[in-house]
Structure 1
């Protein structure tokens, strides 16, 4: 009887240690998997959810995640009904981002880069407001290069070129958001 209790106790301890070791290994694997997720992966997992993005120290955007590409996210801003494109590098803080993620390999869309999205906006010839680290610029995107965007500014918001409009170059690194008008 005594040996049976000793063996039962040892078996219980062994089973407990096995469960604890499995739990520790699975936690390590989960941490390693989360460490490989990018902000873009997490934003893809937030598709259709409302998020608040803090860009720089003064600009705050709230909207539903519409699309995520290579280095950018498109939000459908509430209230304005606009599709705003935001470079991922401009995002300082996020509110409402879920823990779940969706890696780019699982996405049905091709991962277009920020330049491709901006060239599409330039082709549409629509008036946009570029939010930059130096302030806002209203105009039409004229050309989109590898690391800079040329804007034909419209200082008073007119729909056509007017006296006083200028061609302004904005470095992609300074770009916070592109908002259609």
Structure 2
């Protein structure tokens, strides 16, 4: 009988150590998997979620995630009719981002780079408000190059160019957020 208790005790200890080792391995695998996730993967996992995106210098945007690509995020702002296009490199912090993630890209727009999306906006002749590192512009995108875009300003919100409107070239590196009305 004494030997049976000794063996039971050893079996119990062995089972406990096995569980502890499995837990430790599982935690290590979880940490290793988490280390592979990018901000873009986590933003893709937040499709439809309401987020607050901080862009630095006190600027933030709140809205629902509409679409995400490797170098941009599209939010539908709280007002419901305005879309905000944010270059990923401009995001300083995100509030409300769950730990879910979705690697890969299954969105029809997700394969387009920032330049491709800007060309679509230019083609649609949508009125935009562009926040840059030096200030804001309102107008229409006239042309999109490899690293810059030309904006035909509409200082008082006209439908087409009028006296006082100018064409300004903006470096894509200076683009902070583009709002599409």
TM-score clears 0.5:
yes
Name the counterpart of 1:66.
66
* SS, match of residue 104 in structure 1: coil
Residues 14-60 of structure 1 show CA distances to partners (whole Å, capped at 9, x for unaligned) of: 11111111111111111111111111111111111111111121221
Deviation at 1:148, TM superposition (A): 1.4
Mapping of 1:130-169 within 5 angstroms? 130-169=130-169
Tell me which residue corresponds to 1:51.
51
Question: Which structure 2 residue ranges, 5 or more long, are not aligned?
Answer: none
Give the gaps of 5 or more residues in structure 1. none
Matched ranges for 1:61-140 at <5 A: 61-105=61-105, 107-109=106-108, 110-140=110-140
- CA distance, structure 1, for counterparts of residue 156 and residue 58 of structure 2: 22
2-side partners of 1:58 and 1:121: how far apart? 27
| Corresponding residue for residue 31 of structure 2 | 31
RMSD, aligned α-carbons: 1.4
SS of residue in 1 equivalent to 2:150: strand
Question: Structure 1 residues 66, 120: closer, same or farther in 2, change over 3 A?
Answer: same
SS in 2 for 1:68: strand
3-state SS of 2:176 partner: strand
- Using the TM superposition, give the Cα deviation of residue 116 of structure 1 relative to its aligned residue in structure 2, in angstroms: 0.8
- Cα distance in 1 for partners of 2:27, 2:144 equals 45
What is the aligned length?
Answer: 180
Structure 2 equivalent of residue 22 of structure 1? 22
What is the distance in 1 between the residues matched to 2:149 and 2:178?
Answer: 11
Q: 3-state DSSP class of the match of 1:8?
A: helix
Q: CA deviation at 1:80?
A: 4.7
Report SS of the residue matched to 2:92.
strand
Is the contact made by 2:76 and 2:82 (CA closer than 8 Å) also made in structure 1?
A: yes
Moved more, 143-152 or 93-102: 143-152
Cα distance in 2 for residues equivalent to 1:60 and 1:108:
25
